[in-house]
Structure 1
């Protein structure tokens, strides 16, 4: 997950303020309901894990606000100025909105899969996979290096096609908002739904570090891309999911450590590589 709407866009007028408040309310309600049922089931709730995720969220929002001008004012603006055509879009124009949603969701699948298969991108994305619990708050355990992650670049082809950047990245944020609700263990597996839509079960598989599950189910809202490209894996009753990162290491619940551990490891590996080819592999090869 990664959010692209600025504070100005969210709070700039009443038309944007109300949907943002509704979304925040739904997120808070979901966390509250989940914590209630987990405490009933387990007698406790992993407050420390959830608190770290909340701190990571605050850091991510600050980093996004600091780099918002670069994303929109430099990259997106330049691409839109040289767009192939102009595609009108509005809330009343459903065909255009549906096409935009499908393009954005496909863009998410591509960037999500690349984030798992390119080490430099994984350095940022691994923050989201650092939690050893699957909670609603895990959805907000996000990187503090939004520019280095380069995720916004994957949506620039949609801007080049002719969609206004505000609509493109607004749709990205809407697509990511849905994904908040798939971060939980409380919803059981309903396999037939996963032919079309991402579910909590499918996303539990994605967060697993088991060999049977790793690097599967990259879809955002739609799961059709995983079926088309051969990366779908259903949850198996005989394989208990183990969350967290695959490489064994003692990880303190320190937000600074979580935010920059992956990036430090990649840079250190590239610097210590025996030659340029090895350094390139350390940066852009698979994790």
Structure 2
């Protein structure tokens, strides 16, 4: 207990955050080689899959470019500005870090649910779901605004009193855990694990375009959030990956921008200002009351 309550250097925690993020990326590349060999053994390796894998890393590069040039500074500045008005002064130690990770995971659930159920969020997050494959490279398939929305959702943790570095560290842990879930090589884990933790099986469901899998399993680390809030689905039927309306392209520019193109087109074609705003703020497939709602993922 003494170790849990010992004060932590936030500078050291920041270095640990970078170390974990960078080295996990290296490990992920190594695991991707294993997955490609596995595809070859099962005769599932194709030029389309290889092209899609390369597209995943190009979108990552574009995402990093936008984050570094524009959104990174906004992210850090917003956190430190809000921290001035923190309700509590929460000391950085391993206990508070663990608590922050659990809270960040809960925040991630609602952020993730928002990105699926509000068109302006889906425009960027749909990039991640547009691959018709499921391997660890898909975890690095990012949209243009994917570093914007987490700021807004995690600011309450800073306002509560968690040091911004602690919150950023917690976000990295949730994200790294999520990354590891993107694989077909791991089938179902023991039942107690599947009951509490998010697993590759649960996350495969999340990436499915099957009707029964749409908008399910938003969890980051703990699948209990989906069980609590009524969005859980078990993997039963074989998963069909990708969007309801596929992009049918391995062009990284198409993959990166298709969501905003589709959103812009839908807003432009929708008559009336109120309805145009409705397209932005409602779920994919939304139509005014006099029109039927159809899935558009």
- TM-score class, shorter: 0.7 to 0.9
- Residues 21 and 172 in structure 2, CA contact (< 8 A), matched pair in contact too: no
Cα distance in 1 for partners of 2:60, 2:279 equals 28
User: Mapping of 1:234-273 within 5 angstroms?
Assistant: 234-236=234-236, 239-247=237-245, 249-273=246-270
1:61-94: per-residue Cα shift (whole Å, max 9, x none)? Answer: 1111122111112x212211111111111xxx23
- Equivalent in the alignment of 1:116: 116
Determine the structure 2 residue equivalent to 1:3: none
2:267 touches 2:276 (CA, 8 Å); kept in 1? yes
Deviation per CA, 1:142-174: give whole Å up to 9, x if none.
Answer: 112246x52321000001001111221221012
Partner of 2:274: 277
- TM-score (ref. length: structure 2): 0.85
Alignment partner of 2:184: what SS?
coil
Contact 2:188 2:194 in 1 (8 A): no
Mapped partners of 2:220, 2:205: distance in 1:
13
Residue 183 to residue 146, structure 1, CA distance change in 2 (3 Å): closer
How far apart in 1 are the matches of 2:97 and 2:61?
30
Q: Answer whether contact 2:17 2:169 (CA < 8 A) is retained.
A: no
**Kept in 1: contact 2:195–2:223 (CA 8 A):** yes
User: Within 1, Cα distance between the matches of 2:33 and 2:239?
Assistant: 24
Deviation per CA, 1:30-87, whole angstroms, max 9, x where unpaired? Answer: 11222222222226352111111111111111111122111112x2122111111111
Q: How many residues align?
A: 269
Judging changes above 3 Å, is the alpha-carbon distance between structure 1 residues 203 and 61 closer, same or farther for their aligned structure 2 residues? same
Other-structure match for 2:59: 56
In the aligned structure 1, how far is the partner of 2:110 from the partner of 2:15? Answer: 34
Question: Cα–Cα, structure 1 residues 15 and 213, in superposed 2: closer, same or farther, change >3 Å?
Answer: closer
Name the SS of the counterpart of 1:212 in structure 2.
helix
**3-state DSSP class of the match of 1:251?**
coil
Q: Would the aligned equivalents of 2:125 and 2:146 in 1 still touch at CA under 8 Å? A: no
Detail structure 1 runs of 4+ shifted over 3 Å in the superposition: 13-21
Q: In 1, Cα distance between the equivalents of 2:67 and 2:31?
A: 24
* Superposed CA offset, 1:192-233 (max 9, x none): 422111111100000000001111000001111011111111
* Cα distance in 2, alignment partners of residues 186 and 286 from structure 1: 32
Q: Cα distance, 1:16 vs. partner?
A: 6.1
Say if 2:68 is the partner of 1:65: yes
The 3-state SS of whatever aligns with 2:212 is coil
2:195 is matched with which residue?
Answer: 195
| Distance in 1 of aligned mates of 2:19 and 2:27 | 12
Pairwise CA distance, 1:274: 1.8
**CA 18–204 in structure 1, closer or farther in 2 if over 3 Å, else same:** closer
Q: Can you give the 5+ residue segments of structure 1 that lack an aligned partner in the other structure?
A: 1-8
**Equivalent residue for 1:5?**
none
Partners of 1:63 and 1:146 within 8 A in 2: no
Deviations 1:222-278 (A, max 9, x none): 111011111111100xx221111112x553221111111111222332233322221
Residue 226 (structure 2) aligns with: 226
- TM-score (norm: length of structure 1): 0.87
* Unmatched runs of 5 consecutive residues or more in structure 2: 1-9, 285-297
Cα gap change, 1:85/1:189 in structure 2, threshold over 3 Å: closer, same or farther? same
Is the aligned partner of 1:42 residue 2:43? yes
